[in-house]
Amino acid sequence: MKEIKEYSLLIMSLCIIVFFTECKSNSSPGEIVFIENGKIKLGFEKETGKFISFSDVGHSYEFIERNMVKGLPWEVNFHSSSAGSESSSGIFPTKFSFSKSNELTLNLEWEGFEGMKELKVKAEVSLDPDKALSYWSIKAEGIKGNLIKSIDFPRIQGIKNLGDEELAIPTWMGSLVKNPRESLAASNAKVKRWSWSYPGSLSMQLIALYNPNLTGFYASCNDSLSFAKDFAVTLDTLNTLEYKMINYPTFDSTLTSYHSSYKAIIGSFKGDWITAAELYREWGTKQKWCDNSRLKNELSPSWLDSTALWIWNRGKSDNVLTPAVELKQKLGLPVNVFWHWWHHCSYDDYFPEYFPPREGRKSFKNAVKSAQEEGVRCIVYMNSIQWGDSSGSWKTEGAQPYSVKDINGKMRSHAYNIFTGNSLTNMCMATEFWKNKYSSLCDSAVNVYQTNGVYMDQACLSRMCFDKSHGHKIGGGNYWVENFGNLTQQIRATVSDKTQPILAGEGSGENWIPYLDAFLTLPVSRERYAGVTNTETIPFFQAVYHEYALTYGSYSSLVTPPYDELWPKEYAPKETEQLLDADFNKQFLMEQARAFVWGMQPTIANYHSFLNSERAEEINYLLDIAKLRYQALKYLLYGEFCRSPQIDYPEEEIKISKLSIYAGRKGKSVTTFNKKVSLLYSGTWKAKDNSVGIALASISDDTLPVHFSINSEDYKLSDKGKIYIRTTNGKELLGSYSNGLINVEISLQPKGICIVEIVPSV
């Protein structure tokens, strides 16, 4: 009887799509119920509960094209396990009611669903008393006997074109899309839609769509417990956007109701992505992930903070540690190593068969010890979730039962290795089997082979798992991040402190701030893997969490990529790690300039000593950045992100190379783009002592005059103080300021870097 009840209402994969096809499209003001706080005004249709009005009161702007709103502000999607193709059917409520708890809070209720008489959907929408923000929560009752795949809420349709739009998304580091509707319209997909997962590809819970000269649409969430959800935007045929947050309840037919433990946030703002970051930062930095930040609480070993430069090389120790020691001697500051392809198995193939190291146990240990004696530390690559299902250990260790299963009970596998075609399969973070396996690998890497830590590839991702045997909630929930935290705790309890090991991870994410010591943020080199598009990398994550999370990394390289010696010989290129064409040198400079002014630890990929002569100008630029940054850690490591002053940025068209990080992509060579880029980069940081540092980096071949003016009150400084300039040659006084007006006028030498310091009087 239970199964009959569960599926009799659902044909195959049934999705409840709730909308009213006969509703009037031109409602008069008397047919709308409003709530308003003097900053924003929200309106719902009295007859149906459709969300048909969202006004920015201060800027007299209406975000929603009322005629384009066809559905309710929510959608419940049920799942059927019946075999066959998916189909959907509309189930309509016959009754809608509303009430006001107070002048800022509206309660909405839908009921009377044909065939599902117990179902009730309730929503509460309240306005912030002081800000242009609203808070949305939802509850679905009477759902027992049904499997909920997702609940889309809030669902906001008919978002007008703001004109000159920009869309800011915190995709790990951050992306800024110019003219997003144009990009969506150009997609070949049947449904013109973008979606991003959290926790995972979204490092924070927000997106911002805005015209910097008009107003902006702000969509966020205040989930402090890391529940699985997606954020999505869809373009319809009439060029209006739909935004929705997709919530994932536990996949359990015995549940009688679902009530989100967090609230969605919808608001408006005037400004740009930095304004949105500042708005989010007010909430984000008050959460437990910042309270427990390893950087902020000085829980990471001091050598990590003191790292002046990372080398990201691959292969055996003579191709990795030896050049690092040489560069450390040349730089005169700490250089450390981010080490791939040290392991026994070929890359992206037979993970986690990492041991013994491919060059042999004795050689590896001796090389690590020798490098450490020279002051060079190394962290080694080990993927945090993948097991090669073609490997011998997959069968001998019985890994399959502990892998992630999707909603249909299938494993999540993907062939990253295009040469062998062998796939890697996701392991479930919530299983003791995988936590024990991975912590034992870290035990070997640190305790046996004496490395200085582990780089946990694919760390800042999460998966929903539907395997009931794993002991976690099925489907949606927050078990992934919780268990990642348990894994890192287990690792740290297992490994010795002798080598002062760290745990670094791929990407960035607010949820992982208490668990990882460093975050690899590679979008600083986005063009190398994505080419030139209308999407630009922005330091969105750093703008919110810089002083709580250490970021490093770059694909920035001056040579062609390597090829794993364990991959098939027939695909190996004739030469690897040879000089890239000098036309791409400015791309390298641009990447290093970005990383410098965005407060990241600098990194060079595939470094070799011959670059000191063959690409002397570029290597010296990198070394100067490392030296200057080292003098200014109070800004560039521990400082808070601030908006930079308005500066005239000259531009130049340069050559851009798009090339896989691995050579030999079955005959594919460098793809070349032309891109107009800035010749001057800036980043502004406020130190704990209340001084402000403005980092400037030129990639121009000419001297650049730099002039800007700022008001001290914009940075909460006293109205008088001194202005200094810091270069690799030291620090000197430029002048002083008074009456709150700060004027700076300097000349940057070709490819010059500096930090302008504003030191207020006490």
Would the pLDDT of 437 be above 60? yes
Would the pLDDT of 30 be above 50? no
Q: Residue 683 belongs to a domain with what CATH number?
A: 2.60.40.1180
Would the pLDDT of 148 be above 70? yes
Last residue of a domain, one of 277, 302, 328: 277
CA–CA separation, 388 and 391 (whole Å): 5
Nearest C-alpha neighbor of 709 from the set 685, 737, 733, 732? 737
Region of poorest pLDDT, from 107-116, 370-379, 582-591, 636-645: 107-116
CA–CA separation, 648 and 626 (whole Å): 25
| Mean pLDDT score, 48-58 | 97
Amino acid, single-letter form, for residue 759: V
Would the pLDDT of 138 be above 80? yes
Q: At 762, is the pLDDT very low, low, confident or very high (cuts 50, 70, 90)?
A: confident
For the beta carbon of residue 246, count every other beta carbon within 10 angstroms. Answer: 21
The phi, psi pair for 761, rounded to 5°, reads -75, 145
- Asked if residue 525 is part of any domain, the answer here is no
Last residue of a domain, one of 277, 309, 335: 277
- Asked if residue 97 is part of any domain, the answer here is yes
- Asked if residue 721 is part of any domain, the answer here is yes
pLDDT in tens, 57-113: 999 999 999 999 999 999 999 987 533 333 333 467 999 999 999 999 999 999 999
| 3-state SS class at 753 | strand
Q: At 666, is the pLDDT very low, low, confident or very high (cuts 50, 70, 90)?
A: low
- Asked if residue 544 is part of any domain, the answer here is no
Q: Residue 58 belongs to a domain with what CATH number?
A: 2.70.98
Q: Which long-range contacts (CB under 8 A, 24 or more apart) does 332-335 make?
A: 333/308, 333/309, 333/626, 333/627, 333/630, 334/303, 334/306, 334/307, 334/308, 334/309, 334/375, 335/307, 335/308, 335/309, 335/310, 335/311, 335/375, 335/376
- Residue linked to tokens 């608001």: 267
Q: Give the pLDDT score at 207.
A: 98
pLDDT in tens, 677-694: 999 999 999 999 999 999
- Asked if residue 468 is part of any domain, the answer here is no
| Mean pLDDT score, 520-543 | 96
422: which strand partners? none
Q: Give the pLDDT score at 342.
A: 98
- Asked if residue 665 is part of any domain, the answer here is no
Would the pLDDT of 6 be above 90? no
Q: Give the pLDDT score at 574.
A: 86
DSSP state at residue 448:
I
Would the pLDDT of 22 be above 80? no
Q: Give the pLDDT score at 92.
A: 78
β strands within 390-501, DSSP E: 413-414, 424-426, 453-457
CA–CA separation, 276 and 206 (whole Å): 9
CA–CA separation, 712 and 686 (whole Å): 12
Average pLDDT, the chain: 93
| Chain centroid, CA 214 distance in Å | 27
More confident residue, 392 or 666: 392
CA–CA separation, 406 and 411 (whole Å): 6
Would the pLDDT of 46 be above 60? yes
Q: Give the pLDDT score at 65.
A: 96
DSSP for 257-315, please give it. Answer: EEE-SS-EEEEEESS-HHHHHHHHHHHHTTSHHHHT-TTTTT-S-HHHHT--EEEEEES
How many CA atoms within 13 Å lie on the side-chain side of 484? 27
- Sequence-separated (6 or more) residues with CB below 8 Å from residue 496: 446, 447
Would the pLDDT of 431 be above 60? yes
| Mean pLDDT score, 476-503 | 98
| Mean pLDDT score, 464-492 | 98
Q: How many residues does the chain have?
A: 762
- Asked if residue 200 is part of any domain, the answer here is yes
Would the pLDDT of 12 be above 60? no
pLDDT in tens, 287-310: 999 999 999 999 999 999 999 999
- Asked if residue 724 is part of any domain, the answer here is yes
More confident residue, 111 or 5: 111
DSSP state at residue 639:
P
Q: Are 205 and 227 in contact (CB under 8 A)?
A: no
Q: Give the pLDDT score at 242.
A: 98
How many CA atoms within 13 Å lie on the side-chain side of 594? 28
Q: Are 704 and 697 in contact (CB under 8 A)?
A: no
Nearest C-alpha neighbor of 32 from the set 76, 59, 62? 62
Q: Which domain holds residue 38?
A: 2-277
Q: Give the pLDDT score at 17.
A: 41
DSSP state at residue 683:
E
Would the pLDDT of 605 be above 60? yes
Which H helix or E strand runs over 232?
strand 229-235
> Is this model's pTM higher than 0.75 or not?
yes
pLDDT in tens, 179-207: 999 999 999 999 999 999 999 999 999 99
Q: Give the pLDDT score at 83.
A: 31
Nearest C-alpha neighbor of 70 from the set 134, 37, 33, 21? 21
CA distances from 761 to 414, 718, 756 (A): 58, 7, 16
Q: Give the pLDDT score at 669.
A: 75
Burial 670-684 (b: 16+ CB within 10 A, else e): eeeeebebbbbbbbb
Q: Give the pLDDT score at 667.
A: 60
Q: How many domains does the chain have?
A: 2
- Sequence-separated (6 or more) residues with CB below 8 Å from residue 343: 353, 354, 355, 357, 358, 380, 381, 382
Would the pLDDT of 670 be above 60? yes
Last residue of a domain, one of 215, 250, 277: 277
pLDDT in tens, 245-267: 999 999 999 999 999 999 999 99
Q: Give the pLDDT score at 575.
A: 86
DSSP for 98-128, please give it. Answer: EEEEETTEEEEEEEEETTBTT-EEEEEEEE-
pLDDT in tens, 628-656: 999 999 999 999 999 999 999 999 999 99
CA–CA separation, 384 and 705 (whole Å): 48
